[in-house]
C-alpha cells in the first residue's frame, strides 16, 4: 500500500510583509485620492475615476508584497534559533 503525500504547505506570510503591503496600499490610496482631487489625473483611462483610485494602488502593493515575501529572512540569535 502506498502512502499519500500531500503537496508541501506553502510558507506562511510574515506579519511584517502583511503590514508593509497594507501600509503601501493605504498610502498609495491616500496619495491618489489627493491627486484626483487636485488635478484631473487619468491613470487608467478605461475605468471611472472612483474605481481607478482603488485599483491603481494595487500595483505598488503587489510589488511590496512580492519583495517582502521573496526577501531572505535574517535569523535572530536572541530568539534562540540555532
Domain assignment of residue 44, yes or no: yes
- Indicate whether 24 belongs to any domain: yes
In tens digits, what is the pLDDT along the chain, a chain of 82 residues? Answer: 566 655 556 667 788 888 999 999 999 888 887 887 787 766 667 777 778 778 888 889 999 999 988 887 766 666 665 5
Buried b (16+ CB within 10 A) or exposed e, 28-61: bbeebeeebeeeeeeeeeeeeeeebbeebbeeeb
Q: Is residue 79 part of a domain?
A: no
Is residue 80 situated within a structural domain? no
Is residue 36 in some structural domain? yes
pLDDT score of 37: 77
Identify the domain containing residue 31 by its residue range: 15-71
The number of folded domains in the chain is 1
Within a domain: residue 9? Answer: no
Amino acid at each position: 500500500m502506498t502512502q499519500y503525500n500531500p503537496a508541501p504547505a506553502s510558507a506562511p506570510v510574515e506579519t511584517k510583509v502583511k503590514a508593509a503591503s497594507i501600509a503601501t496600499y493605504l498610502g498609495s490610496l491616500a496619495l491618489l485620492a489627493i491627486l484626483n482631487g487636485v488635478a484631473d489625473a487619468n491613470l487608467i483611462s478605461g475605468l471611472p475615476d472612483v474605481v481607478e483610485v482603488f485599483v491603481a494602488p494595487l500595483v505598488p502593493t503587489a510589488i511590496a508584497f512580492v519583495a517582502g515575501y521573496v526577501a531572505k529572512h535574517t535569523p535572530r540569535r536572541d530568539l534562540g534559533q540555532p
